[in-house]
């Protein structure tokens, strides 16, 4: 356990940030999963309309360093290929 007051504060910040990051990561994964379910069900038109929401989540996740920029672009590329 932390002893100094600054270490205690750092632990509090770490716990707070971890919960926020986990929440954001699960939201991102669920959006991607929903998109893949639409494609698997053969609902290509709905998937095409849902794709901008997926892009938005990926871009925001990359912006706040939840995932790296190249990973976001790689996922965007791979997800867009699934429609065709």
How far apart are the C-alpha atoms of 55 and 81, rounded to whole Å? 13
Closest CA to 50 of 80, 81, 26, 84: 80
- Cα angle 43, 23, 15 (rounded to 5 degrees) comes to 165
4: Cα within 13 Å, side-chain hemisphere: 3
Are 48 and 83 spatial neighbours (Cβ–Cβ below 8 Å)?
Answer: yes
How far apart are the C-alpha atoms of 14 and 10, rounded to whole Å? 6
pLDDT in tens, 12-21: 999 999 999 9
Q: Does residue 33 have a pLDDT over 90?
A: yes
Q: Is the pTM of this model over 0.85?
A: yes
Q: Does residue 1 have a pLDDT over 90?
A: no
């Amino acid at each position: 356990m932390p002893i100094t007051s600054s270490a205690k504060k750092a632990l509090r910040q770490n716990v707070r940030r971890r919960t926020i990051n986990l929440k954001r990561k699960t939201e991102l994964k669920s959006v991607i999963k929903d998109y893949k379910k639409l494609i698997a069900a053969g609902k290509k038109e709905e998937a095409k309309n849902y794709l901008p929401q997926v892009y938005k989540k990926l871009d925001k996740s990359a912006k706040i360093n939840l995932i790296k920029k190249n990973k976001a672009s790689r996922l965007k590329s791979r997800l867009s290929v699934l429609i065709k």
